[in-house]
Structure formats: C-alpha cells, structure tokens
Amino acid sequence: MFTKLDDYKNKYRNITFERRDGILLMTFTTDGGPLKWSAMPDGPQHEAGAAFFDVGHDPENKIVILTSGGDRWCTDYDLENYPDQEGVTPLWWDYLYRAERDLFTQLLDIPVPVIGIVNGPATYHAEIPLLSDVVLAADDAFFRDDSHIAVGVVAGDGIQVLWQMLVGINRARAMQYLHQSISVDDAVTQGFVAEKHPREKLLARAYEVAENLIKTCSPVTLRNTRLTMTQYIKTRLFNEHPGSYALEGLAQVMRPQLASAPDVEVWHSRHPNKGSINIGHD
C-alpha cells in the first residue's frame, strides 16, 4: 500500500506536513502553536501512529524532518479532557496501549532517515524526537519526564526503555525517582543529541543535513541504513513495552483502592484545581 502527500497533508488535527525536494517536514502542533499532549481520540497520541504510517508508505519521502510548533517540544498536557478515575478502566488502558504501540511501531518503521528537531524544553513524550536518527536541539532545550513518578504514575509506557538506552540504567532510574532534568549540553556530551544550535537556525541545519544525505547516498543505502540502525531499538522496545505498560495500567486502575496513597496527594498538590484523580496521562 502506498500513500500520497495529498491524501494525508490535511488529515490530522495536530500534525502538519510540507515537502520540498523529497524532504518531508512533519510538525506536531496544537492550534498552530506549541504541542499540548493529549490522549483523547483527536489528540496527538492517537494521531501519531496513523500519521507515521502515512509518512512511511509515501515513496516520495526521501528524508523526514520531525519537529514541533513554537519554542519547545512539549511541556503541557491536556488534563481537562482526560477521564476521571472512574473512566480509567482496563478497556481504556487497552485503548491507550494500542495507540502507544502503534506510535512506536510506525515511527520506527518509517523506511527513510528521520531528523528530529527539539525546539526547546521537552518534558512530555521526548522519546518521539529522540528516536530520530539525528537529533538537533535548541540551545535552551532540556529533557525531563513530568508524566510518571513525578505525578505518581508508573514509568512503563516505553520512555523508561529509551532513557536506559540513552543515558544508562542508573541515570535513567535517578531521572525518574529524583525528577532530574538533562541539559542540552549534557545531552550533546552523552551523545543522544547530535548538535545544539540557536532555535532560529535549527530548521536550516536540518535541511542541510537532509540535502547532504540525498546528494551523497542512494535511496537504497539510506533505507537499508535506517533498517540496520533501528533494529536494536525495535528489539529492546517491543520486547519490554507490553509488560511494562501493563504494569503502569494495573497501578492506574487500582487507584480507587488506593485513594489515600501518597501519590494521589502529590497529584492534588500539583494540580489543585483538578477534582478528579486522573493521573494516568501517558
């Protein structure tokens, strides 16, 4: 099955597309501005997998540049529309799991190189740009996980696997338990960000990298290198993701029996205007 840009360029609420000379720019955005993550059916969590499928099955895409709107990757989450605790059922969690699994599967199955741009702070779902083959980041970017232990949620949606691969097992654990941030300078030193640049120069640099790859390598070389360089990630992620996401979901659906647990109190202290216990926001 093949797709065409005309078929999907206006298909998604939270993702825009623009292509020139075989280079597809894919931008995650909310209402034209910075990305606000949402697990609802019309949110990016459920659109991403289908969008990555469309991108991966379009033979006109030679390189993909993945970015977000505004001055950050994502630092906000749509809590207002998330179901309250009674709505966080096993069926709802299965719904989330399938969307998350599809996101990872279709992103890693894109058959051409992906260049990720991190426009600034990334505290929700940083794994999406960080799964790119080349990651470029703004000079004020930093990385942190605001959606798990920090708000009383099990780290099991796949982010824990990626951080273990990127920074090592001990630092990945400390990031969760101590709610640590990683600066862009540290990210470059550790190697999971290739380069940092002023925000206004990131896109031009991404196009420069993409154009150079197209000039110097055949499409077959680029596609096959993409396969060889993502195989380990796929193996590790897809082996661990089902079980770890089930553990995260188990803790979430048990929450009515844990109404006085400390992590519930943490949730309310961080979100005083939210009456329901709805902290399962992956």
Which positions are annotated as active-site residues?
Answer: 127
From CA 282, how far away is CA 264, in angstroms rounded?
A: 16
Q: Please give the structure tokens belonging to residue 193.
A: 């960000």
Distance CA 122, CA 256 (A): 31
Q: What is 231-260 written as a DSSP string? A: HHHHHHHHHHHHHHHHHHHHHHHTGGGGTT
Check: CB of residue 112 under 8 Å from CB of residue 88.
no
φ and ψ of 10, to 5 deg: -115, 20
What tokens does 119 get? 């426009």
Best CA proximity match to 37, nearest among 11, 14, 67, 10:
14
Residue 154 dihedral angles phi and psi, to the nearest 5°: -60, 135
Integer Cα distance of 59 and 183 in angstroms: 37
Q: SS3 for 156?
A: coil
